[in-house]
Amino acid sequence: MKHAPHRILFDINVVLDVLLKRPEHFSASAQVVSLADQKRLHGLLCATTFTTVAYLVAKALGRSAAQAQLAQLLQTFEVAPVDGAVLRDALAAQFGGYEDTVQHAAAQASQCKAIVTRDLSGFRDARLPVYTPGQFLSWWSVENAELRG
């Protein structure tokens, strides 16, 4: 019996670590993103992530680089929609900054199993498991070993 890949929401900071090649965070973030790129898991990005990435990457690397990166992200990741219900759920459950709570609500609405972020404090009261990229890689190794064994 084939196991369906997990649905995992990636926080914008993990994606920006890779796109902007942030040296202190690049390695672990790139390894986690590669799991989505290889379709070993269903990686999702909150819809709001795309507009913020477009702005920040264009500012740092130029508009054409930003457009190329967005095209790649749309090939690698599914989109966790943000609609009125997600925004209302986030407002009612706000446990930190509204942006993080919107991502959490979008992850729940998209039936994600977990969130990968470098900002654990922003998801302190999350109802989903929340991992740093390094923690996720450790969890992923154990999870896949159990599936094989």
- Which strand (E) or helix (H) includes residue 43? strand 42-46
DSSP, collapsed to helix, strand or coil, labels residue 79 as: strand
Distance CA 36, CA 117 (A): 15
Q: Find the domain containing 15 and state its range.
A: 7-148
Q: Report the Cα–Cα distance between both ends of the chain, in Å, rounded.
A: 13
Within-domain flag for 2? no
In this structure, what token pair is assigned to residue 80? Answer: 């966790």
- Give average pLDDT by consecutive 10-residue segment, the chain, 149 residues: 79 94 95 96 96 92 93 96 96 88 96 96 93 95 66
Give residue 5's pLDDT: 81
Q: How many domains does the chain have?
A: 1
Q: What is the CATH number of the domain that holds 31?
A: 3.40.50.1010
Taking 3-state DSSP, the helix, strand and coil percentages for the chain, each rounded to the nearest 5, stand at: 60, 10, 30
Non-local (6+) Cβ contacts of 62 within 8 A are none
Looking at the domain assignment, is residue 99 inside a domain? Answer: yes
DSSP state of 41: S
Whether pTM > 0.75 for this model: the answer is yes
Determine whether 109 is exposed, middle or buried from the number of CB atoms within 10 Å of its CB (0-12, 13-18, 19+). middle
Q: Give pLDDT, residue 77.
A: 97
Token pair 């926080």 in the structure block, residue: 11
